[in-house]
């Protein structure tokens, strides 16, 4: 905006001016453009100050994200910039566009991480946050652990001893063979 560029007359009349992309240069228009530039600079400065205030408020905030994980601390899924934005909004009360949050690596385990938030071309800051696991306990409850050990011992004993049904079947088939052998010997 505010640049003075020389173009062909037909290009200006048929394309730039009808679409509102350019205006003809006159002394009055140059003054209007200068005034618009000053107004835009003041608006940009106000916006930058406002964004800087939000950045100062959020930079000191402690952000904690809770996610489901395994007993080893590995997350079921990963933490995204959308989740970081929603947690920051809940904890600080300031809304942040998720596209302005830059996370370097994929977050797939419990721990401490940092993200860069770019609120304005001139205003960016780092936020450190912690990912905590929830929903899973690393150790089994005592009752279940004892039951698991007992069932394993019972299975080991069963594997070592032959089943009584198999013993009776083997003895019955031996008895049948002896009876059959005696009948053949006797001539029947």
Which tens digit of pLDDT belongs to each residue from 38-81?
999 999 999 999 888 888 888 877 888 988 888 888 888 889 98
Number of domains in the chain: 3
Shared domain check, 61 and 40: no
- pLDDT mean across residues, the chain: 78
Range of the domain at 172: 142-186
CATH of the domain at 85: 3.10.430.100
What 100-107 contacts at long range (C-beta under 8 Å, 24+ apart), as own/partner pairs, is 103/79, 106/78, 107/75, 107/78, 107/79, 107/131
77 found inside a domain? yes
Which tokens in the block code for residue 6?
């020389």
Interatomic CA distance for residues 149 and 177, integer angstroms = 43
The pLDDT assigned to 57 comes to 82
Among 54-58, 107-111, 131-135, top mean pLDDT goes to 107-111
- 122 CB-contact burial (10 Å; exposed 0-12 / middle 13-18 / buried 19+): exposed
The pLDDT assigned to 42 comes to 94
HSE-CB of 102 using CA atoms within 13 angstroms: 8
Residues 164, 167, 168, 169, Cα dihedral to 10°: 120
Shared domain check, 62 and 49: no
The pLDDT assigned to 99 comes to 92
């Amino acid at each position: 905006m505010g640049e003075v560029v020389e173009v062909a007359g037909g290009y200006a009349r048929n394309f730039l001016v009808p679409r509102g992309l350019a205006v003809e240069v006159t002394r009055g228009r140059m003054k209007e453009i200068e005034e618009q530039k000053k107004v835009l600079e003041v608006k940009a400065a106000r916006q930058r100050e406002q964004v800087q205030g939000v950045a100062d408020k959020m930079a000191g905030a402690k952000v904690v994200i809770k996610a489901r994980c395994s007993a080893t601390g590995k997350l079921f899924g990963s933490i995204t910039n959308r989740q970081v934005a929603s947690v920051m909004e809940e904890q600080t009360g300031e809304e942040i566009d998720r596209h302005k949050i830059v996370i370097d690596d994929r977050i797939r385990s419990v721990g401490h991480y940092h993200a860069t938030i770019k609120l304005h071309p001139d205003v960016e800051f780092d936020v450190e946050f912690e990912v905590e696991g929830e929903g899973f306990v690393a150790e089994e409850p005592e009752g279940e652990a004892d039951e698991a050990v007992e069932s394993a011992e019972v299975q080991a004993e069963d594997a070592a001893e032959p089943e009584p049904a198999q013993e009776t079947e083997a003895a019955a088939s031996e008895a049948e063979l002896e009876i059959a052998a005696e009948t053949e010997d006797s001539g029947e």
